[in-house]
Each structure stands twice: as C-alpha cells, then as structure tokens.
Chains A and B, each alone.
Chain A
C-alpha cells in the first residue's frame, strides 16, 4: 500500500516545476506578495483612509504652493482696511482677498497658507523626532533589558508625569518665544510615547529566531538593534507616528492660541483661530471659520490616515 502511494507520488511530482505551471495555467512567473504590498492593498481598500490621504495631500499642496495664488504678502497691511474689515474686508474673488482680511487689514488667505505650513511643519518635526529618537531609545531599552531597561523606562515614566505644557510655557517665557524653542519643546515630548511602544514591540521581536541567529553568529548588539530590530518595528512606528501627529499639531496651536507660541508677524493656525475668536461678535466670522476649517480637516485627515495605516499594518490590533 505504502509502496503504491510512494510510486504515485514520485510519478506525479517528478517535475514539480511543471506541476505548478500546470496548475496556474500560465507561463509567466508567479510574484510573491510582500507584507508591505499586502498592507498597501488593505490601506487602499479603506475608503476613509484614502479620502484622508487625498485631503492631506491637498492641504500640503495648499500650504506649499498657496503663496503663489495669494494676491498679497502675508505681512502686507492694507491701512484702508484696518479696523474696517467687517464690511470692506469681506471674502471675495474680486478684491483678491479670497478669505477676507483680518482685523489689521492683512490678507487672510496668505496668512492661512503660512499658518497651515507651520502646523504641518510642527507635525513633521514632531513625527521625525518621535520616529528617530523614540524608536532607537525604545528599541535599545527593550533589547538590552534588565537594569538598563528599567532605568531607561523609569526615566520615560518620570518625564511623562511632568505637565509639559506648563514646563514648555516656562521655557518659552525664559528663553524667549520663538519657533525654534517651540520645536525643541515638541521634540522633547514627542518621543516619549513612541519609546514605550517601540520597547513593547522590541520585547516580542527579541525572542524571534532571526535575532537568536544573529546573536549566535556574533553580531554586535548595536548592529542587531539597527539591522534586525528597527526594520521590524517600522510598521508599528509609522502607524503611531501618524497617530501622534494630530496631538502635536493641537499642542502647538494650543500654545499659539494663548499667544505664547509663534509670534507676529509669523502666524500659525492656533494664532489665527485666536484672532478669529477675539473678533467673533464683530461679524467677521470668516476670520474664525477659514483657519478653523483648515485646522479641522488636517486633523481629521490625519486621524483617518492613521487609523487606516493601523488597520493595514497592524491588523491584529482591535
């Protein structure tokens, strides 16, 4: 019986290559799908995420090239409109003030472009710091383990329990309010969450065979972290970087809203929203609504893209 089956098997699979060709019925090479390709398919199947991505690209284009469409410089003050923007600075195509003017007679379209640019920049810087510092820190702590891990993560715990908004405002007061200081402040906090996430993921990667193999062949710990651990963290890191960005944009706008962040004549969406709210009862609602619109669609787009990325790259989570 066994003999017969063996015979059959050898007969059938004498040329396995030919079998596969036979099954697929085609003669071109079969392409494997990588994890990234799978994730891409999943992402593009998610309508909300794709819409978010499109909106995000449009907002980025607006922030980058909007200045070319604007008819006025963001700093240019039209003295005839100053204080009279409620009836003279109404949004219109004819005057070239597409979004109207603010209370000082400056073109709101140009200023919204600048503000959106700052917000996106803040998100970008925060995400970069989170990805680079947070990932390396978390991966190192997780990979080394033991006392080092404990000390490193305790340090993160301590930093996380400090009310950073207040400390950053203290720093802004002491070292002067500048964009650089704001970026430093956002960089200081943005990596904390990422370090925790990266560490948790590293703990599970550490036990995998390929890491063991690397250790066995005598690869140095630094090289293992950089070559074997970090690339495997990338999926989750990208997801959380996207999900952390809205928080950072809100953080910056919060401070700028209070007037402690970006200073005149530069502006940010938070500062513009503040300008709009202070004039709310003077009938110049466009001063609030245009910056608010760009602020909200940016946040929503980021939320949806982040969610889509999470579903695509980290399907086991929820």
Chain B
C-alpha cells in the first residue's frame, strides 16, 4: 500500500511540475509584455516596474524563481492587473466561496445520486425506475451553463423564491441555486452508475444467500449490496470532481458568487497572466490531488485491486 502511494506520488509531482513549466513557457510565448499599453511608459518607469515584478531577469531565472516560490512558499507572486494585490490575496478571497458550494455540490450529487440509483435498481422497470433513468439522461445532456440560466429563470424571475446571484457570506438561500446548477449532471451520472452496478450486485449469489436466510430487504441492501455497488461510483468520483472544479467557473460567472472562477474569467479578459497561471496551477494541484485520493481510497477499499 505504502509503495503504491509512493509510486502514484512519483507520477503526480512531475505532472504538476510539467503544468507549471508549460504555463510559464506559454506566458513567454505571448506577444507583448503585461505592461505594454497604447501609451508607452517612460523607459525609467518601465524599468522600475519590470524590476518590481522581476521581469528584467533572464527567463530561466524568472521561471526558477517562480517555481521555487510556488513550491516552497505557495506564493504565486503579484497580480499584474490589480496592482495592490497578490495572486494569493485573490485566491484567498475567492477560493473559500468556490470550495463551500463545491463541497455541498459533491455531497448532494453523491447522496441524492446514490439514493436515486438504489431505488431505481430495487424497483427495476417501475415508474420510479423509468423516471430516474429519464431524469438522468435529461440532466446529463444539460450542461451547467444551460442549467444555471434556467434555474435563475424559474426560481428567481418566475417564482421569486431564491436570489439569482450574489453570495452574502454564504447564506443558505444564496448557496442553493449554485449547488443545484453544479451538482445535477453529476448526480444524474452517479444515479445511472449506481443503478447499473446495483442491478449487477442484486443478481449475484451472495445476495441470493442473504435473501434466503430471510434477512429483511433493507438490511440486505444496506449491509450487503451497497458496498460493492458503490465501487464504480467511487472510481467515477475522480473525473466528477474535476468536472465540478471546471464547472464552478461557469457557476461563478452565472451567479456572480465571487469565487475563483469569476476572477479567472475576468483575468482572462484583462490578460492578467499571473492570476490565470496561479489559478490554473491551483486547480491542477487540486485535480491531481483528488485523483490521487480517489485512487488510494479505491485501492484500499477494493480487495481485488493489486498494487
């Protein structure tokens, strides 16, 4: 087990380094510097600014400095656009917001998705099953940037029940719509996966034995069937979390939550490379970290996996 984790880390760390170096090289391939403007600055001022941001150093030194700062102190340097703030400030401000509704979304997706899938599997070919399958196909084809506006349209404009945007420090009514928008398609996928794996498990011998012993249905499902049926869901969690992280960009923009996605898109319009790079690397680290975590969990839970 320990050597498996070490081996996985041996892949994860270089991946992250490649991502950092790749985005850095991209940045230098960009035409023009971040401070080039219509009206050229006096050379003296330009020099001072470049010295302040370390842009007067040779490229390799800038890159090494950047990588060292990121790795050792988790310091992404100053923002090029918001002159008085560092990338870390921006991340510190936006990340908790994204994390809050991201975690809620993951929870909702897993709990509701699994429940829906289990019910659909138990009552196979009943109306519950058909509607669960129908909903999950529908929800899968609805990307979150379609889901979000529809939610706003229905719950804010037509019904007037929930606010259509903002965050207000995470009050519950501001969290609900972003969570629904982000979690629905993953909930649907999880429901579909749970249903098919549950059906498979329910047809297996050990479940027949449990039934034959005269155990109540509830106990058979919860104690015997659920655990093996959830393994495929666990392996889906890796890509699902990556998708949610990406999806949060759109949710941030639609609901103006002030999460990192909003900063990311704004910086993309402002050509604020430092912020874009910082967020890309942070997201990359999260992605790789979550994938690693899911893989380790999987190897730990599933006895059939050899590592």
A interface with B by C-beta (< 8 Å): 154, 157-158, 161-163, 165-167, 169-175, 246, 250, 253-254, 257-260, 270, 273-274, 276-277, 280-281, 288, 292, 295-296, 299-300, 303, 318
Contacts and interface: CB of A to CB of B under 8 A. Distances in A.
Given A170-B23, A173-B268, A174-B27, A318 B11 contact: no
A161 B15 contact: yes
* B interface SS class: helix
B141 interface: yes
* A interface SS class: helix
A170 B276 contact: yes
Contacts of A175: 29-30
For the complex of A and B, list the 8 residue pairs with the smallest distance between their C-beta atoms, beginning with the closest.
Answer: A277-B149, A174-B30, A166-B280, A165-B246, A257-B145, A299-B141, A163-B283, A158-B15
Given A158-B18, A162-B19, A173-B273, A167 B280 contact: yes
Given A158-B18, A173-B273, A280-B157, A166 B279 contact: yes
A163 B284 contact: yes
B145 A254 contact: yes
B145 A165 contact: no
A253 B149 CA distance: 14
B221 interface: no
Contacts of B137: 303
B30 A166 contact: no
A161 B250 contact: no
Contacts of B19: 162, 167
B22 interface: yes
B271 interface: yes
A174 B27 CA distance: 7
B273 A163 contact: no
B142 A173 contact: no
B145 A162 contact: no
Interface in B266-307: 268-269, 271, 273, 276-277, 279-280, 283-284, 287-288, 291
Contacts of A276: 149
B265 A258 contact: yes
Nearest to A299: B141
B146 interface: yes
A273 B145 contact: yes
Nearest to A280: B153
A295 B146 CA distance: 10
20 contacts: A154-B11, A158-B18, A161-B15, A162-B15, A163-B245, A163-B246, A169-B264, A170-B277, A173-B268, A173-B273, A257-B250, A258-B268, A273-B145, A274-B145, A277-B148, A277-B152, A280-B153, A288-B149, A288-B153, A292-B146
B145 A169 contact: no
A280 B280 CA distance: 31
B146 A167 contact: no
Interface residues of B, number: 47
B228 interface: no
A246 B250 contact: no
A163 B287 contact: yes
B221 to A, nearest CB: 22
B287 A161 contact: yes
Contacts of B253: 258
B165 to A, nearest CB: 12
A250 B22 contact: no
B143 interface: yes
A166 B246 contact: yes
A274 B271 CA distance: 22
B9 interface: no
B112 interface: no
Interface string B13-30: 011001100110011011
A271 to B, nearest CB: 11
B196 interface: yes
B130 to A, nearest CB: 14
Contacts of A257: 145, 250
Nearest to A304: B137
A172 B280 contact: no
Contacts of B157: 280-281
Contacts of B250: 254, 257-258
Nearest to A298: B141
A152 B142 CA distance: 34
Contacts of B279: 166
Nearest to A277: B149
B249 interface: yes
Contacts of A154: 11
Contact of B152 (A174, A260, A273, A280): A280
A171 B14 CA distance: 21
B162 interface: no
A299 to B, nearest CB: 5
B242 interface: yes
B276 A169 contact: yes
A170 B26 contact: yes
B142 A280 contact: no
B249 A174 contact: no
A254 B261 CA distance: 13
Nearest to B152: A280
The CB with the most chain A CB atoms within 10 A, among B15, B146, B149, B249, is that of B146
A159 B287 CA distance: 12
Nearest to A172: B268
Given A170-B23, A292-B146, A260 B265 contact: yes
Contacts of A295: 146
A108 to B, nearest CB: 17
A166 B143 contact: no
